[in-house]
Structure 1
């Protein structure tokens, strides 16, 4: 069992007060809080080794380069990539997805099909729509059911020799539903399609094994897993990364430049033009170390208990409906009859409780349920059952005020 109070002491912000009340932070799906070791590592980089990487022969540049590449290898091992050069540093999941869609612009042609799911974040819908508009390919959508799960029989029926890409999230940001991605990847590969997994909401809760999954691409953000904002990873199989053209041109991604012709650098540098977020990349490795020290088995166990407790307590409230009732991570998305989610969120904020309200950048899901949005409470391993009880009592007060 986790020593939750000891863990909470690692996070300075959890001792803060909001509107005069102790902070109850349940917006982890948007971004996680940062432990002191991550905060210290950011300061350490700028205080001790601040220099550009890969280019300098001087000592500080070598130290920074070594730290950056050590972080890449940490992340390679964390996700079980075959090679460290299959791990690309990005600014986040959105950057990674756009990098891939940009590359497929030179591969897709009219008549080809791209399959997305109805559970996707806008970041995994809009870039593919733009790609289809550019190439003449067709976007197909896997439908969902009332439990918030994908209809897998419909997915199977959508697949054909026209399918060139399948893209789906590992875990839904709006509902917390865990998708059967290993099955979906296997079925997509059977028709020759490439698969990109949006892992933004998965990596705070589990360790993805990209070789076991056999996905072609896996994108995620650092800031949702205790790392800095503006950091992320795109994993890509070596053969796919070699096929795709560079996303950006500039320094670092070149082998040789003349006005007649430019040749590109080898992986991973081919996709890492310009000066990156060096501190962020290094410290993302620190965040991964921290989470592995806590242990993902322990994280899963604790968050499962939080989800069960929250579900039980919230359903005590008359008129409350939870959206997404299938197999899911530690997220509860709900509404109360006759009350706009924004009004509940605003009132409980005055009591120090941070939840997310709205469509969560997943408007197709809200359209399916014919609602403007939901109240989303997303839990992390540093949250407690006592905090959930505080939230439930606050929601009861808000409901009484608004009824």
Structure 2
């Protein structure tokens, strides 16, 4: 039998890993991924670390690779450290032998041991990799979605907004942009916390359209909407590298009580597309009413990608949920103790009478949670009621009371992750 071993990065892998990725992915081939670009990822992405680069060797040769990109994601259970799984690859000559499954399983165990509550990834729907991930426990949360309009349709909503100036973003705008991003993020799940370094490297110094792909920043790629010296929003736009006739709205964030700022940025982006002679506009926008009103000429297009998630550490997840629990809502309901069980692991909580704590005594209800409903709940695609109806539950109290208690712990919101933060 061949000698198989799993390890993390060591000197020389900066040559071996890019070579493997070029053999496995045409996107990296076209991008010209090499040693320098691969090493640069650690500078551009705070969550990309050399010790997060895992390889599987056969007789001393690197044949399979997984990269972990650490993220802090907003979820219905609060801000959760997440092992983002990327660049899962196996040399074409070694496929079909279970190497990717073995390697990713080992990665998951490592991050479970490090008490990361979650792991998440993007992959092709109905693909071979998706089948591997499902076998390892990953759950489909949603399909990726973008919105597209011919330029002539988009122009119908390009309305002039008086009093707001759209100008090129400058270094001095960075604190305002970071604040706007984090404030808007409170309305969503996904929406990673973005470190200042990522802002500087991926948005100001260049224009990233994915964690691993970027173009040089050009004038007009990053603009702000300003009124009376106050920055009310910003937009990131580029000519799509894959579709040269398309303008791509990569990110569009506005102050929540100023939808006119959103309108002004939309108008800017559409006019920029016209100036560049482009034929259509594609946008990655949240499922939120104000965005939908401004982008109502755009049609939804579900792509071939799927977002998948799995819980690694139920106790760590529950502790964060308790830390951010709605104590005001807890004060309005009677104390209820619940055991949550997920794939054989269990935690007990006490919720109500103004409390949200771990519990070590008898419980009023036991829930063997459905993993699909639970992971979808974390990102706003299921409700507490869906979780109860889809799980095995034994309760000595009315299910309405159980649902009210769990609603103290989990606050589902719509999911959105901008392309720059995809991994």
TM-score (norm 2): 0.23
* Greater share of strand: 2
Higher relative contact order (CA 8 A, sep 6+): 1
**Larger C-alpha radius of gyration, 1 or 2?**
2
* Greater share of helix: 1
TM-score (norm 1): 0.24
